Amino acid sequence: MAFFLKTKVWQTGALDWWAMLDGEDVYLGSREFPLPPEEGDAWHVRSTGDKFRIENGEIIRTGNEPVVAMPWET
């Protein structure tokens, strides 16, 4: 993909976004992933709790928050 990112990203046939971070495949989310990704974008993947941010053209993992179920999901 030509998003001007230094991080290798790809989308699967299931419309999920993945990246290669520190030598491993990391799930970036589906609808959470910003399109087009731009410098300073940040997002939270609800299914895993992982948080990401784009800094200096690279996607970095900034932490993890517990996954909170929405009332309609229980």
Residue range 11-67, pLDDT digits in tens: 999 999 999 999 999 999 999 999 999 999 999 998 899 999 999 999 999 999 988
pLDDT at 1 over 70: no
pLDDT at 69: 79
Q: How confident is the model at residue 74 (pLDDT cuts 50, 70, 90)?
A: low
Which pLDDT does position 18 carry in this prediction? 97
Q: For 40, which DSSP code? A: T
The whole-number average pLDDT for the span 1-20 is 88
Query: CA-to-CA distance for 24 and 3, rounded, in angstroms?
Result: 20
For 71, list phi and psi in degrees, rounded to 5: -55, -35
Please state, in angstroms and as integers, the Cα–Cα distance from residue 27 to each residue in 39, 47, 56, 74, following that order: 19, 10, 20, 24
CA 65 centroid distance within chain: 14
